[in-house]
C-alpha cells in the first residue's frame, strides 16, 4: 500500500523540513567524503605496515630454532592476520588476477625469497592463507582475514551531537523567520478600527521592521478614514435636526387636517432617523469610554426595574454574582436596544445570564416574536437593514438599533450573535469577558 506524500501545511514545518533535509544531506556527504579519505589513508598505512611486518616476522621465524618458534607466534600475530606452523586449512587455489590487494603486498614483502602459494578458505567472510617453507623446510602459513579498521567508539556520539546541533539551529532559524509572520497574522486577526489598535513592535531585522511600520501605518489610515466618515455622518445628522425642528414648529401653525397629521408623522420619523444616525456615529467611538468594574446582577436589576416601573414585561433570570470590567454606558445602550427590540416584536423580554466558554459570560435577551429568517440573521446587524415583512418603517424601526448594539459590543471587546429559538422567537446573545 503506497501512502501519498503530503507537503506540510505550516510554513514553520516546511522550513524545518527543508533545512533539516538539506543539512542532513550536506552532513552525510561530508561524512562520506571524510570516511572515504580515512579509508584510503588507513588502507595505505595498513598495506605499508603489512609489508614491513610480514617480512620481519618471517625473517624472525626463519632464524629461530624450531623449538622456539611456537612461543613467538602470539607475539607476531596481529588483528587481521597471524602465523601457523603447519600446512593450514584446506581450500581452493586463489585466482591472483582477482586477489585482494593485500596479496600483492605479501608477495612484494617475501615472495622473492620464499615460494608462495595462496588458497581461498570457504566461509561467509573473506579468508585466505599464504603457504611457504622456511629455510629448514618447515611449513609456515600466514592466515589472513581482511577487515576494515573499526570506527572509533566516540564517532557515533559526535554524529549524534552534530545532529542535535543541526536540529537546534534549524528550530532557532525557523522561529526567527516565522515569528514575525505569526505576530503579523495575529495583529491582522485582531485588527479592529473601532477599538484601541494594538501596534506591532517595530524592532528586528530590516524586513520585519518595514512590514511592522507598513501595518501600523495601515491601521492609522483605516482609523482616520473611519473617524472621518463617522464625523461626517454625525455632522450631517446633527445639522438636520435644526431644519426638522423648524418644520415641526411651522406644522403646528397649520390648520387641523389629514395633511397636517401626515406631515407631522413624516417629520417625527425623520427626526427619529436622524437621532439614530447620530447614535450610530457615536457608537463607533464606544471604546473611548473608560472601563470600570461593575456588579452585573446590580446593573441588570436596575435596568429591569426601570422597564417594570413603566409597565413593560421584562424579566431577569440566571443571577451569578459576576463582576465584570466593562464600559457601563455602552453596555446599557446595547441591552436597551436588544430589550426594546424584543418588546417591540414579542411584547415581552427575558434577560438570562449564564457562563459561556473560554472564561466568558453570556447575556441573552429572549423574546417570542416572529423571529428572523436564517438567511437574514447576519444581515440585520448591518446599518439601515430592515426585514420588510415585519420590522419596517411602520413599526418605527430605522435599521440602526441592532447595528449600534453590534458596534458597541465589539468596542467593549465582546460579541453579539442572533439565533432563532425553538418554538418561535429570537435570542440575542451578548458575550463578555469575565473579570478574573
Structure confidence by residue, pLDDT tens digits, 72-87 = 888 888 888 888 888 8
Helical spans, DSSP H, in 253-362: 258-283, 296-309, 328-346
CATH code for residues 21-144: 3.30.450
pLDDT of residue 268: 80
Residue-averaged pLDDT of the chain:
80
pLDDT of residue 235: 76
Query: Measured between alpha carbons, how far is 280 from 382 in angstroms, rounded to an integer?
Result: 11
Confirm if 219 and 191 have CB atoms less than 8 A apart: yes
Topology adopted by domain 193-207+217-284: Helix Hairpins (1.10.287)
Domain(s) of CATH 1.10.287: residues in the chain: 193-207+217-284
Query: Measured between alpha carbons, how far is 286 from 411 in angstroms, rounded to an integer?
Result: 6
Query: Measured between alpha carbons, how far is 100 from 18 in angstroms, rounded to an integer?
Result: 43
More confident of the two residues 43 and 184: 184
Any residues with CB less than 8 A from the CB of 17 and at least 6 apart, and which?
Answer: 8
Bridge partners of 120, per DSSP, are: 92, 128
**DSSP for 82-93, written as a single string:** EEESS-----EE
Asked if pLDDT for residue 398 goes beyond 70, the answer is no
pLDDT of residue 351: 92
**Nearest alpha carbon to residue 116 among 97, 129, 101:** 129
Any residues with CB less than 8 A from the CB of 410 and at least 6 apart, and which?
Answer: 192, 194, 195, 416
pLDDT of residue 393: 46
pLDDT-based confidence at 1, cuts 50/70/90?
very low
Burial label, 127 (beta-carbon count in 10 A; 0-12, 13-18, 19+): middle
Q: Quick one: DSSP state of residue 365?
A: E
Please work out, in degrees rounded to the nearest 5, the angle formed at the alpha carbon of residue 233 by the alpha carbons of 231 and 270: 145
Phi, psi of 82 (to 5 degrees): -150, -170
Region 90-109 average pLDDT: 80
pLDDT of residue 121: 85
According to the CATH classification, is domain 289-433 in 3.40.50.700? no
Amino acid at each position: 500500500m503506497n501512502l501519498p506524500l503530503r507537503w506540510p501545511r505550516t510554513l514553520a514545518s516546511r522550513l524545518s523540513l527543508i533545512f533539516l533535509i538539506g543539512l542532513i544531506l550536506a552532513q552525510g556527504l561530508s561524512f562520506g567524503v571524510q570516511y572515504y579519505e580515512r579509508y584510503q589513508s588507513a588502507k595505505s598505512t595498513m598495506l605499508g605496515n603489512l609489508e614491513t611486518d610480514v617480512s620481519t616476522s618471517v625473517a624472525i621465524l626463519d632464524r629461530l630454532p624450531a623449538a622456539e618458534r611456537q612461543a613467538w607466534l602470539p607475539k607476531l600475530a596481529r588483528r587481521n592476520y597471524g602465523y601457523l606452523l603447519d600446512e593450514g586449512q584446506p581450500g581452493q587455489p586463489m585466482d591472483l588476477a582477482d586477489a585482494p590487494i593485500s596479496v600483492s603486498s605479501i608477495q612484494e614483502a617475501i615472495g622473492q625469497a620464499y615460494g608462495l602459494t595462496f588458497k581461498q578458505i570457504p566461509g561467509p567472510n573473506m579468508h585466505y592463507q599464504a603457504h611457504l617453507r622456511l629455510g629448514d623446510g618447515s611449513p609456515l602459513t600466514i592466515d589472513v582475514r581482511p577487515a576494515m579498521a573499526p570506527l572509533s567508539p566516540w564517532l557515533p556520539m559526535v554524529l549524534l551531537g552534530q545532529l542535535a546541533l543541526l536540529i537546534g539551529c534549524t528550530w532557532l532559524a525557523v522561529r526567527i523567520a516565522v515569528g514575525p509572520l505569526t505576530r503579523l497574522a495575529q495583529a491582522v486577526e485582531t485588527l479592529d478600527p473601532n477599538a484601541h489598535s494594538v501596534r506591532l513592535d517595530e524592532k528586528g531585522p530590516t524586513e520585519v521592521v518595514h512590514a511592522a511600520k507598513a501595518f501600523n501605518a495601515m491601521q492609522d489610515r483605516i482609523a482616520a478614514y473611519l473617524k472621518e466618515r463617522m464625523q461626517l455622518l454625525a455632522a450631517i445628522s446633527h445639522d438636520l435636526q435644526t431644519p426638522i425642528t423648524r418644520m415641526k414648529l411651522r406644522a403646528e401653525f397649520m390648520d387641523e387636517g389629514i395633511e397636517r397629521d401626515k406631515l407631522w408623522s413624516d417629520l417625527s420619523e425623520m427626526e427619529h432617523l436622524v437621532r439614530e444616525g447620530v447614535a450610530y456615529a457615536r457608537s463607533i467611538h464606544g471604546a473611548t469610554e473608560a472601563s470600570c468594574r461593575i456588579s452585573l446582577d446590580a446593573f441588570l436589576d436596575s435596568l429591569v426595574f426601570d422597564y417594570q416601573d413603566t409597565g413593560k414585561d421584562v424579566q431577569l433570570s440566571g443571577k451569578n454574582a459576576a463582576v465584570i470590567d466593562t464600559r457601563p454606558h455602552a453596555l446599557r445602550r446595547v441591552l436597551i436596544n436588544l430589550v426594546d427590540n424584543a418588546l417591540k416584536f414579542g411584547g415581552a423580554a427575558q434577560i438570562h445570564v449564564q457562563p459561556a466558554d473560554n472564561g466568558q459570560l453570556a447575556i441573552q435577551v429572549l423574546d417570542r416574536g416572529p423571529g428572523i429568517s436564517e438567511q437574514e440573521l447576519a444581515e440585520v446587524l448591518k446599518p439601515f437593514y430592515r426585514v420588510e415583512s415585519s420590522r419596517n418603517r411602520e413599526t418605527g424601526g430605522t435599521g440602526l438599533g441592532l447595528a449600534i448594539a453590534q458596534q458597541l459590543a465589539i468596542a467593549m471587546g465582546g460579541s453579539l450573535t442572533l439565533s432563532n429559538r425553538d418554538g418561535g422567537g429570537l435570542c440575542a446573545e451578548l458575550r463578555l469577558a469575565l473579570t478574573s
